[in-house]
Structure 1
Amino acid sequence: MITNLKQGERLDDLQIKGYEIIQHPGKFCFGMDSSLLSSFVRVKSQDRVLDLGTGTGILPILLEAKTKGKHFTGLEIQEESADMARRSVLHNHLEEKIEIITGDIKEASAIFGHVSFDVVVTNPPYMIGQHGLKNETDAMTIARHETLCTLDDILRESAKLLPFKGRFYMVHRPFRLAEILSKMVTYKIEPKRMRLVYPYVDKEPNMVLIEGVRGGNSRMTVEKPLIVYEKDGSYTQEVLELYQPK
C-alpha cells in the first residue's frame, strides 16, 4: 500500500524492516542524529517510550524497528509534521505500536500524567538565542532553535514523566555539554552514560549522546568515541552496524 502523499512530500526508505517515512524536503527532514540516538537508546520489552518533539515520527518508528519496546508515543507541536508522522505510522502498519499526539512539550506532563513512561527520548532544538533566526514560525527554525521550548522545559517535563530509575536519552551538541549535564542534575536526571560522535577521526565532535536516570546515583560512563565516516567519506563499519535491529 502506498500512502497518499501531499504536494511536495516524498516517501523515504529507512532501510530497516521495510519501513518508510513521509518527509517534505522543503520543511525538515531527519538526519544522522536521530539515527544514532535510536541505536544509543536502551529499551526493554515492557517499556513505554515517549519521544518529545517527534517531528515526522522518525524516532518512534526506528525504535519500534530496533527494540522490543511495548509501545511508543511521539509528541509534536507542529500539526503538519504530526500529520506526516501519523500517515507514516499507518503506512508501516504500526498503529497498534505507535501513537502520535499533537501537543506542546511544555505541557507534556499535563497531557500524559506524571510517571506515565519508562523511557523518554528527544532530539531537541540545539540552538539558543537569535543566531541564524529568520522566521520564528518556520518549520526548520522551530526544529533547530529553542523558539518554542528550551532545555529546561524538556528536562522539567521529563523528570515529571519518568518514574524513579526511569531513563532519559538525548542527542545534542557538545558546545552545550556543561549546561546539559548541570541542568540534568538540577532536575534530578543523573547523567549515566555519554558518547561523543565525531564526523571524522581527525575532526572535533559534532554530536553527543547522553543517557540519564531519574534519581540515579552519581556515576557516569564515557563510552569510546563514535566515528561516522572513513577518510573516503564512506560510513565506518560501526555506523553501518548501528542501523541493524538490536
Structure 2
Amino acid sequence: MKVDLLPDERIDMLYNDDVHIIQSKEVFSFSLDAVLLANFAQPRKNGRGLNVDLGAGNGAVSLFMAHKVAGQIVGVEIQERLADMATRSVQMNDLTDKITIINKDMRDIFTDIRPGSADMVVSNPPYFTVDNENTVMHEDEHYAIARHEIKADLDLVTYTAKKLLKNKAHFFMVHRPDRLFEILESLQKNHLAPKRIQFVYPKAGEPANVLLIDAIKDGALTGATILPPIVTHNDDDTYTKAVWDIYEGKSNG
C-alpha cells in the first residue's frame, strides 16, 4: 500500500527488501539492536497467540518479527509521531491484519490488552536513566524519550511484561550490559526468570555493548544458558557475516 511521507521521512528496506519501514533522522531511526531483538525472540507454537511489543518506536521490531509469528502483534508506543510512523509502515507492508499499533502509555494499555493474555512480550526500552552521567540528553524530545527513562523505566517495562504474559510465557528484551545486575533484580522482582542471555560485541576483543535476555514468567531460577556471543563488526568496520545473515533474514535466532 502506498502511504504519504512527511518531508523529513524516508523508506528503508530490510530482509532482502521484504520489509519497508519509515525512518526519520530528525525524529527516530531504528538501530541494529531492534534487528537483533527481533531475531533473538523465539515465539512459542509459531507465535499463534498474542505478541506484544512494548515501546514499539517506529514499529521496527514488530515489522521484523511479523514473518516469524502466525498470530497478532500489538505494538505499544507512547509518542504520537512514532506511533503514526509505525502505523503507516504497517499499512505500507500490508500487515494491518497482523499488526496493530496502540498510541498509549504502557500504564494505560490494560483496557486494550487483557492482563495474562500474551504469549510473548518483546521490548527495546530506553537504556539510560535520566541522571546518567555518561550520556547527554538529546535536545530532540523524540530521541530523549526513546533513549532515556523519561516516560518508562526498567521496572515499569518488566512489570508491564509480567502483567501481560500468560504463565510460563516469555519476555525478550534488548538492553545494555552495564545494567545487567539492575535488569536481573527487576526481572526477579516481577517473577520473570532469565533463561537465555546473549552478549553482543562491537568487535572481537572489545567489551560487550548490547545484552539480549529471554525470561520466563513464573519459571524456575535455575537452568539459565549463556549463549555464544555475537560480534557485529569486522576490523574494517563492515558487518560480520553473522549480522548480514540476520539483516537478510537467514538467521532464526
Q: Pick the TM interval, shorter chain.
A: over 0.9
What aligned pairs does 1:139-158 form with structure 2 within 5 A after superposition?
A: 139-158=142-161
Q: Classify the secondary structure of the residue corresponding to 2:5.
A: coil
Give CA-to-partner distance per residue, 1:153-200, whole Å, 9 cap, x none.
Answer: 111111110011010000000000001011101100001100000000
Q: Which residue does 1:185 correspond to in 2?
A: 188
Tell me which residue corresponds to 1:58: 60
The aligned residue for residue 96 of structure 1 is 97
**How far apart are the structure 2 equivalents of 1:203 and 1:154?**
29
What percent identity do the matched residue pairs reach?
36
Contact 1:109 1:157 in 2 (8 A): no
1:130 and 2:134 aligned: no
Amino acid at match of 1:28: F
Secondary structure of the structure 1 residue equivalent to 2:66 = helix
The CA distance in 2 between the partners of 1:194 and 1:110, in whole Å, is: 32
For 1:153, give the aligned amino acid.
Answer: L
Mapped partners of 1:232, 1:6: distance in 2: 35
1:78 aligns with 2:79: yes
Q: Which amino acid aligns with 1:238?
A: A
Distance 1:95 1:10 in 2: 20
Q: CA deviation at 1:49?
A: 0.7
Note if contact 1:107-1:157 (Cα within 8 Å) is conserved in structure 2.
no
Count of residues paired in the alignment: 244
Q: Which amino acid in 1 is paired with 2:229? A: P
What is the identity, as a one-letter code, of the residue corresponding to 1:122?
S
Farther off after superposition, 78-87 or 40-49: 40-49
CA distance in 2, matches of 1:214, 1:192: 10
- Give, as a single letter, the amino acid of the residue that structure 2 aligns with 1:73: V
Match of 1:227 in 2: 231
Aligned counterpart for 1:203 among listed residues 197, 203, 206:
206
**For residues 191 and 109 of structure 1, what CA distance do their matches in structure 2 show?**
25
Q: 1:106·1:154 contact (CA, 8 Å) conserved in 2?
A: no
Query: Which residue matches 2:31?
Result: 31
Quote the Cα distance in structure 2 between the aligned partners of 1:231 and 1:24: 29
Distance 1:39 1:134 in 2: 28
1:87: which partner in 2? 88
Residue identity opposite 1:74 in structure 2: G
Q: What TM-score, normalized to structure 2?
A: 0.92
Q: CA offsets per residue over residues 48-91 of structure 1, 9 Å max, x none?
A: 210001011001100013x1331111000111111111111111
What SS does the corresponding residue of 2:167 show, helix, strand or coil? coil
User: Counterpart of 1:133 in structure 2: which amino acid?
Assistant: M
Deviations 1:83-102 (A, max 9, x none): 11111111110000110011
**What displacement does 1:17 show?**
5.5
Partner Cα distance (1:99, 1:118) in 2: 16
Label 1:144 to 1:237 Cα distance change in 2 as closer, same or farther (>3 A).
same
Letter in 2 for 1:214: K
Structure-2 residue corresponding to 1:116: 117
Unaligned runs of 5+ in 1: none
Is 1:49–1:69's contact at 8 Å kept on the other side of the alignment?
no
The alpha-carbon deviation at position 134 of structure 1 amounts to: 5.2
Structure 1 residue 113 displacement after superposition = 1.9
Structure 2 residue identity aligned to 1:68: V
Measure, in 2, the Cα distance between the counterparts of 1:212 and 1:108. Answer: 22
Deviates more, 1:38-47 or 1:213-222: 38-47
Q: CA deviation at 1:151?
A: 0.6
Partner Cα separation in structure 2 for residue 111 and residue 72 of structure 1:
13
Residues 121-145 of structure 1: per-residue CA shift (max 9 Å, x gap): 000000003342255x700000000
